[in-house]
Amino acid sequence: MVSGEFGNASLDDATRSRGRREHMVKVRALWLLWILWVATCATGCGVGAQTAANPLPSWNDSPSKKAIVDFVAKVTQAGGPDFVPVSERIATFDNDGTLWCEQPMYVQLAFVLDRVKVLSGKHPEWKQKQPFKAVLDNDIATLAKAGEKGLVDLVMATHAGMTTAEFEQIASDWIKTARHPKFNRPYTDLVYQPMLELLGYLRANGFKTFIVSGGGIEFMRPWSERVYGIPPEQVVGSSIKTQFKVDKDGPVLMRLPAIDLVDDGPGKPVGINSHIGRRPIAAFGNSDGDFQMLQWTTGARGRRFGLIVHHTDAEREYAYDRKSPFGKLDKGLDAASANGWTIASMKDDWKRIFIFQ
């Protein structure tokens, strides 16, 4: 087709000039298409391109990182035996101790204690009533003895009896101002940089990332998108019941003092099924509260991935596992090997823990 079209000595000037113009048009079209393609890819489709460079710079080149990268390579390899379509690439992440720091206590417990103090002016009876008295007296030993029943009482007194919009405002305001006692920074600074990179890496490979936390769903949602890139509709957590009503300001949802879902331990697969409706192919946790989520995820057919973040770094963060009151990891350490779960040691596998370190 092209033969002789341009390389012909008998072409007159007009023909030659048209040939040049046509060629220029084609070159421009080539560039335009190239730019269009690059732009199109940059807006969301060029999943492959983002993974080309080192995708997990805060991870050491250890077996944990290799296990992650191998898994992602296998499930994304079109035509490969372990290929998983994009729509089924669901990854679930515990929050406390997996995505952010959960010591010296769960962040939401710090919120509860602060709220009890703020609200105590309206509740003079709390000065004599446990477990409120223990909170007001900063008596952690007595508070610890109150157990789960005591915790539920504190949660209901501070999380219910208001609209969802009011609670969102309270939680948002608190998270902006409260500071971690050891690091003296906002709690949302205390997210693990390697895990942020992992979230991004999975999303760049077509995964949809979800939080599945024992923490309160409405405590996390106001900031999950800003901090983790995970929108509210991809946050699963413990919840209390709500009730619709129309008051003088219009329709509201009132938060009731009744448990809806405890999204912890065996409650995690329940929450996953209710909110996501598919079994994840990868799950990330750090404590025995994540045990059943890891079982549910990796106990299905096909290539699956489970990872436990092991807190081994007393210097840069905290070191704890089998005996910790928060984020206890005991059963999971024993069962990891038999289940093929990867254990990531924060001390050995992570170059840095927080962005500010």
7 to 26, contacts with a second copy by CB under 8 A? 7-9, 11, 16, 19-20, 23-24, 26
176 counts as binding a second copy under rule CB under 8 A: no
In the list 124, 277, 323, 338, the residue contacting a second copy (rule: CB under 8 A) is: 277
CA distance 136 to 51: 51
Surface-to-core class of residue 283, CB atoms within 10 Å of its CB (0-12 exposed, 13-18 middle, 19+ buried)? buried
Give me 289's structure tokens. 């509260």
Nearer residue to a second copy within complex by CB, 233 or 348 = 233
Q: Which string of x and - marks every residue 67-106 that binds a second copy (by CB under 8 A)? A: --------------------x--x----------------
Cα–Cα distance between 183 and 202 in angstroms, integer?
29
Interface with a second copy (CB under 8 A), residue from 80, 181, 266, 340 = 266
Residues 226-245 contacting a second copy, CB under 8 A: 231-235, 239, 241-245
Report the residue from 14, 44, 79, 122 that binds a second copy according to the rule CB under 8 A: 44
Other beta carbons less than 10 A from residue 21's beta carbon: 10
Q: CB within 8 A of 252, min separation 6: which ones?
A: 163, 164, 165, 244, 245, 246
DSSP-derived pairing of the beta strands 250-261 and 235-247? antiparallel
Among 295, 304, 343, 346, binds a second copy (CB under 8 A): 295
The SS3 of residue 179 is strand
Among 267, 306, 327, 332, binds a second copy (CB under 8 A): 267
Taking CA atoms, 207 is separated from 15, 102, 152, 200, 226, in Å, by 54, 26, 35, 9, 18
| Amino acid at site 228 | Y
199 and 230 Cβ atoms separated by less than 8 Å? yes
Closest distance between a second copy and the C-beta of residue 263, in Å? 11
Asked if 121 touches a second copy (CB under 8 A), the answer is: no
Least distance in Å: CB of 221 to a second copy?
A: 5
Output phi, psi for 252, to 5 deg.
Answer: -140, 160
Which is nearer to a second copy, 146 or 253 (by Cβ)? 253
Task: Tell me which residues touch a second copy (CB under 8 A).
Answer: 2-3, 5-9, 11, 16, 19-20, 23-24, 26-27, 29-30, 33-34, 36-37, 40-41, 43-46, 87, 90, 164, 208, 217-218, 221, 225, 231-235, 239, 241-246, 250-251, 253, 260, 266-270, 273-278, 292, 295-296, 299-300
